[in-house]
Amino acid sequence: MLRPKVPTNPMPTGRIVPPVVAEPTTVAQHSTDPAPVPESSAPVRPTVQLTPGAVVALVGGGTAVVMVVGAVLVSMLLAVAITAASVAVCALVIRSLITADAKRR
C-alpha cells in the first residue's frame, strides 16, 4: 500500500515527426577599430570642513544619544529586577501557605 509505483513509459502511439536539421549559417565579422577610451581621472571628492559649531553639534548629539540609550537600558534592567523580586516574594508566600496548610492536617 505504501510502496511507490514506478510509472512505465508506454510506446508512442501517434505519428512520430523526425527532428529538423538546422543548416549552419556563416557569420561575417567586421574589423573596426575600437573607439578610443577617454582617460579617466580620479573622482574629485568634496572635502568636509568642520566648523567649531558643527563639532559642538556633533559632540552634543552623540552625548544625547548615549544618554538616551543608557537611560533606556537602565530602565529595562530596573524593570527586570523589580519583576524578579516580586516573583521571589510570591514564591515565598505560596511556599509558606503550602507548608502551613500541611502542618494543620
Per-residue pLDDT band for 3 (boundaries 50, 70, 90) equals confident
Q: Where are the strands (E) in the chain, listed by range? A: none
Give the tens place of pLDDT for each residue, 22-81: 777 776 676 666 666 666 666 777 787 889 999 999 999 999 999 999 999 999 999 999
What digits encode the pLDDT tens for the residues 90-104? 999 999 999 988 887
State the virtual CA torsion across 70, 73, 78, 81 in degrees, nearest 10: -140
* 58 contact partners, CB below 8 Å, separation of at least 6: 50
* pLDDT at 84 exceeding the cut of 90: yes
- CA–CA gap between residue 56 and residue 50 (Å, rounded): 10
Question: Which of the 8 DSSP states describes residue 14?
Answer: S
